[in-house]
Amino acid sequence: MIPFHFLDFVFFLFPFVIIILLLFRFRSKQNSTKEYFQAEGSLSWFVAGTAMVATTFAADTPLAVTEIIRGQGISGNWIWWYMAVGGFVTVFFFSKLWKRSGATTDLELIGLRYSGKEADFLRGFKAFVIGFLLNLVILGWVNLAMLKIIPVFFPNVTGSHILIYLLLFGVFYTSIAGLRGISYIDVFQFFLAWIGCIIFAYFAVNLPSVGGLEGLKHKLDANKILFFPNGELGTLPWDHFLILLTVLWWSSWYPGSEPGGGGYIAQRILATKNENAALKGSLWFVVAHYFVRPWPWILVALVSLVLYPNLSEIESGKGFLMVLQEGMPSGMMGLMLSAFLAAYLSTLATHLNWGASYLVNDLLRPMTKVDKPDFYYLKISYGIQILTAVCSFFLAVYGMETIKGAWVFLLEASSGIGFILIARWFFWRISAWTEILAFILSPILYLLFSVYLKAVFPYSIFYTAITSSIILILSTYVLPTTNREVLLRFYETTKPPFFFWRGLFKKNEEPKQIIYPNRLIVSFLGTLSGLCFVFGGLYSIQCLVWRKGEMIIGLPIFLLGFFGLYVSIQMLQEKKES
C-alpha cells in the first residue's frame, strides 16, 4: 500500500472545497419545486449534457468495465456500447418532443398522454417502483462500488463507516443545491473524474512491468484486445452481440438509456432553456458517454489483467484499483480518490433529486390533492432523500455481490417495457392500460423464460421482448383507448410524427400540427451518422492504440459520421432561439 503524500491530501480535499464553493454560487434560491427539480428550464446545452454524463460516470463504472474486460476482453464492452443506438434515437427523435411537452418529470407525461384513473394509477405506480425501488438498486450498486474502492485508499478503516460520511455529505449538498446546483457541480465532477482517469491510464500503461502499449499488447491474449467479437472463448459471443444491437436497445429499461428517453436524461432535457439546447445537450451526452470516456478505463482494465491474472469474478473489478499500488507517482492516489469521489457524488446527487422528484411530483401531490405551498413538498423531498440514502446503504452492505450482476438483472427484468416507451410517442392507440400491461408482462415473461425455461442472457431478453411486443400491439385493439381530447391536446403540444397519428383524425379534419415539419428522414440520418461517429471513432482509437492497419476503415466512417451529424443538427435546429 502506497502511503499518502502531501499532494495526495491536496487532491483528496480539492473536490470538497470546489463543491462547497459551487454550492453557494449555484444553489437553488427559490422555494419552488419547479426550480428544485427542473432549474426553471434554464440550463444551457453544455451544462445539461455534461451533467447527464457525470451521472452515468459513477464510481462503479470503471469497476464494471474492468469486470467485463477481464471476462470477455474489449469486445465485451458491447454489453453497454449497444446503448448508443437508443441514445441517438433519443437525441434525434425524442429530445425535442420531451422539451415541447413542458413536463416537470418524465412521469408527468403520463398525465399529458393518457386519461382516466388508469393514468393516475400508472403515474403513481411508476413513481414508487422507479423513483424508490429501482432507484435503490441503482444507488445500491453505486454504494457497492465505493465499498470496493474505500479499502484500497483506507485499508485500516471500516469501509462502511466512510461510506456513511460520504452519504451524509451527498444528502447535505443535494438538499441545498437543487437541480441547478447539482448540474453545475456535475460539470466540475465530470472533468475531474475524466482527467484523473486519463492520467491514471498513462502511468498504468507505462509501468515497467507493463512496458507501454507494445508491451501490453504482447502480454495479453489476442482475443482480449479484439474490438469486435469473433465467437471464440474469452470474447463476447457473436449471437449476443447481434441481439444487443438489434433488440436490447429498444426493449429494456435501464438508467441513462431508457428507450425514448426518460429518467434523469429526460429530467435534464426538460431543464434546458429551449428545444435547440435539448437537442445539442442530449447529443453531447451520448458522444461523451460512449466515445470520449471509455478508453482510459479499457487500458487500465487490461493492465490489471496483466498484473493480476488470477482474480475471482467477484474481485475482478478491484483490479482497476489495485493498479494504483504499482509504483504510481506522488499525488496519483489522491487524484484518483478525488476522481472516484466526484463520480460517486455526482451520481448520488442526481439520483436522490430525481427519485424525490418522482415521489413528490408524481405520487404524493396527485394522490393527496392537498393545496400546500411548494416549501411543504420541498421539506418532504429532503426526508425522502435521507430515507433513500439510508436504504441504499443497507442494500449495498447486505444485498449485492457484483456490479455487473446488478446490470444484467435490471436489463432482464425490464425487457418487456421498452417497446411501449417508444410506441406511445408514435401510435395513438397506446393507452395507460397498454403500459400497465407491459409492466405486468415483463416480470412474468422474465420468470417464464429466464427462471422456468432456463434461457440465458441475452436470449432471455430476446424472447421476453419479442413476446411482449406482439401481445402489447394486439392489446391496443382490445383495451380501452385514451380520451380523444387528451390525445389531440398531446399531439398539438408535442408535435410527434403525423404518420401513425392519422387514425386519430376524422375525414376532412385538419390537424393543427401538420404545419410543423416532421423530419423523420433527417432524424434517421442523424441517428445513423451518430452511430458512425461513435463506433467509427472508438474503432479508430483501437487501431491507433494497437497500431493496426484497419485505421483506413475506421477513420472514414468516423469522419462521415461527423459530417452527417453536423448536417442533421443544422437541419433540425430552430432558426430562432426561444
Q: pLDDT digit string (tens) for 15-31?
A: 889 989 998 888 777 77
Task: Tell me phi and psi for residue 347, to 5 degrees.
Answer: -70, -45
* Residues paired with 272 in a beta bridge: 43
pLDDT in tens, 333-355: 899 999 999 999 999 999 999 99
Residues 51-89: pLDDT tens digits? 999 999 888 889 889 989 998 899 999 989 999 999 999
Q: Per-residue pLDDT tens for 154-195?
A: 888 888 899 999 999 999 999 888 999 999 999 999 999 999
| pLDDT-derived band at 549, boundaries 50, 70, 90 | low
Q: How confident is the model at residue 577 (pLDDT cuts 50, 70, 90)?
A: very low
Rounded to the nearest integer, the mean pLDDT of the chain is: 88
Q: Is the peptide bond before 458 cis (omega within 30 degrees of 0)?
A: yes
- CA dist., res. 363 & res. 371, Å (int): 15
Cell 492520467 sits at which residue?
A: 199
Mean pLDDT, residues 405-409 taken together: 63
Angle at 189 between CA 108 and CA 380, to 5 degrees: 40
Report how far residue 202's alpha carbon sits from residue 557's, in angstroms, rounded to the nearest whole number. Answer: 27
pLDDT reported for residue 515:
45
By C-alpha distance, which of 114, 109, 140 is closest to 127? 109
Looking at residue 401, what is its pLDDT?
61
- What is the pLDDT, as a whole number, of residue 407? 61
| Cβ atoms of 175 and 91 closer than 8 Å | no
- The phi, psi pair for 501, rounded to 5°, reads -105, 0
pLDDT recorded at residue 461: 87
The predicted pLDDT at position 1 comes to 47
pLDDT at 362: 94
Q: Band of the pLDDT at 368, cuts 50, 70, 90?
A: confident
Q: What pLDDT digit, counting tens, does each position of 217-243 carry?
A: 999 988 899 999 887 766 788 888 999
pLDDT at 534: 97
469-487 confidence digits (pLDDT tens): 999 999 999 999 999 999 9
DSSP class of residue 246 equals I
Q: Which of 182, 31, 29, 32 is nearest to 104 (CA)?
A: 32
Whether the per-residue pLDDT at 456 is higher than 90: the answer is no
- Taking only the tens place, the pLDDT of each residue in 241-289 is 999 999 989 998 877 788 888 889 999 999 999 999 999 999 999 999 9
Under DSSP, is residue 272 helix (H, G, I), strand (E, B) or coil?
Answer: strand
| pLDDT computed for residue 237 by the predictor | 86
Provide the pLDDT confidence category of residue 408 given band limits of 50, 70 and 90: low
What pLDDT digit, counting tens, does each position of 109-143 carry? 999 999 999 999 999 999 998 999 889 888 988 89
Query: What confidence score (pLDDT) does residue 257 get?
Result: 83
Q: In the structure, what pLDDT confidence band is assigned to residue 50 with cuts at 50, 70 and 90?
A: very high
At 578, the pLDDT band (50, 70, 90 cuts) reads: very low
195 alpha carbon, distance to own chain's centre: 20
Least Cα distance to 362 among 112, 98, 30 occurs for 112
Spatial separation of the C-alpha atoms in residues 54 and 64, rounded to whole Å = 16
Over residues 403-409, mean pLDDT = 61
Q: Whose CA is closest to 247, among 451, 403, 419, 481? A: 419
In the prediction, which pLDDT does 486 show? Answer: 94
Q: Which residue has the cell 380523444?
A: 484
pTM: 0.92
511 — pLDDT class (breaks 50, 70, 90): low
Average pLDDT over residues 35-47: 92
- Per-residue pLDDT for 93 more than 90? yes
Q: Is 312 exposed, middle or buried (0-12, 13-18, 19+ CB in 10 A)?
A: exposed
Which pLDDT does position 507 carry in this prediction? 67
Is 467 a residue whose pLDDT tops 50?
A: yes
Give the highest mean pLDDT range of 162-176, 364-378, 400-414: 162-176
Q: What percent of the chain has pLDDT over 90?
A: 57
What local confidence, expressed as pLDDT, does residue 514 receive? 53
357 burial level (CB within 10 Å; 0-12, 13-18, 19+): buried
